[in-house]
Every structure is written in structure tokens, then in C-alpha cells.
Amino acid sequence: MPMTAYEVLHPDRNLSCVVFASPHSGRDYAASFLRRSILDEHAIRSSEDAFVDQLFDCAPRYGASFIKAGAPRAYIDLNRAPEELDPSVIEGIPRQGHNPRVASGLGVIPRVVANGRAIYRGKLSQEEAQLRIDSYWRPYHSKLQELLTRAHRRHGQAVLVDCHSMPHEAMDGVARSGMRRPDVVLGDRFGAAAGGEVVDRIEAAFVDAGFIVTRNSPFAGAYITQAYGRPSRGQHAVQVEIDRALYMNERLIRPNGAFEAVQAALQRVVADVAQIGQERLPLAAE
């Protein structure tokens, strides 16, 4: 089993209401997990948000907390509801109403990685699935909500910036349409997960740092933005998807020559976004 469910990097002083998170960059692939998989150590990483934690771990310098997953996405997906169980990979789970994520093999216990490649030869027991949820999913989400509650108590609101990466090919359709290919997709579930002034500020930070930004297409946000985005209560959640090709070789899963430049640009973004908590934007209910 992976060693830890999460790691939190705390600032010396909590100056910001913003909490940065990386639920898919965990890369503690336990030997026992790899032995059960039909994939090799490289292929199993294809759905990982590789290096995203390194791109955003500067957050504490600017007074914001940063939480990152320890367990890899192929082991347990923290951006799914714990009830999104796949009967095709977990024994004894009844088939219920159609869930497109579960149907495609991307439930809370994933059946596949990128390009639909199967992870296992057979099925897991319900006990194994529940152990993963209890040992990794619940602790991560308990800590995440604790950080948001603490930020809200200190600053009157909380903003979750949920950091992810997307395959370069995800925006091929946009490129074919003749529009400029976005570097970043912000997802606020079409306004349901965050107040407009918060999303505007985050978008402006990326644009000012030189990124091309679009919203909600093709990624509007999944479980985390849906579960934590409560703008009427002063708790906002925005998903950030960054084109992997900007900073890494997707085939080799290695940083490319632009990694440090992208990292520096994102440091400017983080510094700007972290100031939201120091300026008391009006709440959505006001």
C-alpha cells in the first residue's frame, strides 16, 4: 500500500483564504500494487498528473496551504465520489444507474488508465476497495475540508484551486476549429462551483502570466468542484487543467526543456491568486 494518503505544505503565516490541491499527482506505486497490475511501471503512470505537485508547491511562500495526494490515481481516484464503484472491477457490486465515468472505467477505483488500458487481470474484493477508500480517500477529503474550513474561519471565505493536467490531444478539437489552442481550462461547473469574481481573478492571473485560457470546455470540473463549490456560503472551488505538453514529454513522462519556465510562470499565477484571501472579495450571496 502507498505510504501516506496526503501531504500538506503549510505556510509560515496563513495569509490567504486560498487552498491549492493536487489530487492526481501521487506517485507512490507500492510494489504490491504493481504486482497485481498487468501494466508496467511506466504505462501505469499514464493517467497521473505528473509533476503538477511540483508546479504548485510554491503556494506556502505566498501564505496559502497546499495539499497533495500520496496514492496514485490508478490506485484510487480522489476526484470521484466514494459511491462511484465499478462492478466490472470490484466483485459483488450491483449495477446501478448509468454513470459515464464508471462506465468508462474511471470510478473511484479505476479499472483503466489513459487510452482505456486495463489495470488488472481480474477483480478486486469489496473489502480491498473499501480499505482503499477508508485509508486514502477519506483522510484526504477530511483534511481538505479542514483546510477550507480553517481558511473560511480566518478570512470569511475559502477558495479551492484544484490543480490537474490534461493530455495535449484534449484540445485538438479547439485547434481544428481555428481558435487558439488553450493552455489552461478553468472549470467552475458553469458558475455553480465558484463566484464569477473569483473565477475572473484566477483567469486574469493565468492570462497575465502568458497562458491562453478557456472555461468549462471540455473540463467543467468533476467530483471535487461539485462537492466543495458552495459559493453562496463563501466556499468556492475552481478546477485548473494545464496542457501537459507545455512542461513535460508525455510519452516519456519526463519534464521537458520548458519545465522551469512554466514553473516560474505558474509561480507568478500562484502569487497573484493567493492574494484573493488578502483582499476580501464580495461573497456570492452579497
Answer yes or no: is 212 within a domain.
yes
What confidence tens digit (pLDDT) does each residue in 131-155 have? 999 999 999 999 999 999 999 999 9
- Indicate the pLDDT class of residue 286, thresholds 50, 70 and 90: very low
Q: How far apart are CA 34 and CA 236, in angstroms?
A: 37
Band of residue 15 on the pLDDT scale cut at 50, 70, 90? very high
Report if residue 19 sits inside a domain: yes
Q: Which domain holds residue 207?
A: 6-278
Can you tell me the mean pLDDT for 110-120?
95
- Residue 283: inside a domain, yes or no? no
Q: pLDDT band at 277, cuts 50/70/90?
A: low
The pLDDT of residue 283 is: 42
Amino acid at 73: R
Mean pLDDT of 46-71: 97
Residue 24 lies in a domain: yes
Asked if 218 and 172 touch (Cβ cutoff 8 Å), the reply is: no
pLDDT at 279 over 90: no
Mean pLDDT across the chain: 94
Q: What distances in angstroms separate CA 238 from CA 98, 137, 203, one per listed residue?
A: 26, 20, 10
Q: Cβ(229)–Cβ(157) under 8 Å?
A: no
Asked whether residue 285 is assigned to any structural domain, the reply reads: no
Within-domain flag for 272: yes
Q: Backbone phi, then psi, for 96, in 5-degree steps?
A: -120, -155
User: What pLDDT is stored for residue 284 in this prediction?
Assistant: 41
pLDDT digits (tens, 9 = 90+) for 238-249: 999 999 999 999
Helix axis angle for 196-208 and 259-274, nearest 10°, is: 140
Q: The domain that contains 243 carries what CATH number? A: 3.40.630.40
- Mean pLDDT computed over 114-142: 96
Q: How confident is the model at residue 216 (pLDDT cuts 50, 70, 90)?
A: very high
The total of structural domains in the chain comes to 1
How many angstroms separate the Cα of 266 from the Cα of each of 23, 25, 62, 205?
18, 16, 13, 9
Does residue 286 lie in a domain region? Answer: no
Euclidean distance between CA atoms 8 and 139, whole angstroms: 12
CB 44 within 8 A of CB 119: yes
Q: For residue 245, is it within any domain?
A: yes
**Band of pLDDT at residue 270, cut at 50, 70 and 90:** very high
Find the distance separating the first CA and the last CA of the chain, reported in whole Å. 46
* Digit-coded pLDDT (tens) for 74-97: 999 999 999 999 999 999 998 877
Quick one: what percent of the chain has pLDDT higher than 70? 96
Q: Which helix (H) or strand (E) holds 202?
A: helix 196-208
pLDDT at 179: 79
Pairing of strands 184-187, 6-9: unpaired
Where is average pLDDT lowest: 91-100, 151-160, 214-223, 261-270? 91-100
